Amino acid sequence: MAKVRVHNFSISLDGYGAGTDQGLDHPLGVGGNRLHTWALKTRAGRRQVLGKPGGEEGLDNDFWLRGDEGIGATIMGRNMFGPIRGEWRDDGWKGWWGDEPPYHHPVFVLTHHPHEPIPMEGGTTFHFVTDGIEAALAQAVEAAGGQDVRIGGGVATVQQYLRAGLIDEMHVAIAPVLLGGGERLFDHLDGGAERYECVELVGSPAVVHARFTRKE
């Protein structure tokens, strides 16, 4: 049976998944880029995010690779797709990732404002869903064709799916940095976190990996 998964979601030691003042100059908020230093040191992360060779293998690289295994569709919040607020502007914005995003499958963007699908190179098409998280999940499950669905982020999107108890498995990477403000992943869950238990906790010199599954 297909699962709903979160992978490689980085948070700080004080629990923030993004810093303050997110925008075009700071997509992850001020200082938020430090959350992903570990990933950009790995061979897989460098290749996928930076398009560069080299990088380290080992535990962190293995966790990064798991994030793509068996994934047939991704769901993300509008804030992860771009810094635009309110009605969409006719400015040609197609996400942060250039002409060939690293997804290579359908991506469903949660929004309150309708937008036509955006096909990209490499098999990614961005679809925009205006009728809530469950509608987006239903569309993503169908598009995934039996494979799993990944909840990509940001913080508010993961929180919505956690509150609803719709996530089956979640991998959080805890980076050794303090942000001091921003969006905390485990706030505002209304008891949703009680449905999950930590089933794996391992660390490297760069980051601690925590994997959670939904309780039966």
The CATH number of whichever domain residue 196 belongs to comes to 3.40.430.10
pLDDT more than 70, % of the chain: 100
Q: Once rounded to an integer, what is the mean pLDDT over residues 167-190?
A: 96
Q: Which domain holds residue 205?
A: 4-214
pLDDT for 84 beyond 90: no
Say what the pLDDT of residue 121 is: 96
**86: burial class by Cβ within 10 Å (0-12, 13-18, 19+)?**
exposed
pTM greater than 0.85? yes
Residues 6+ apart with CB under 8 A from 187: 15, 159
Backbone dihedral angles phi then psi of residue 135, each to the nearest 5 degrees: -65, -40
Domain total in the chain: 1
- Average of pLDDT values for 74-92? 91
23-66 tens-digit pLDDT: 888 888 899 999 999 999 999 999 988 889 999 999 999 999 99
Q: Measure the CA–CA gap between 58 and 55, rounded to whole angstroms.
A: 10
Question: How far is it, in rounded angstroms, from Cα 37 to Cα 28?
Answer: 13
Is the predicted pLDDT of residue 186 greater than 90, yes or no?
yes
Q: What's the full length of the chain, in residues?
A: 216
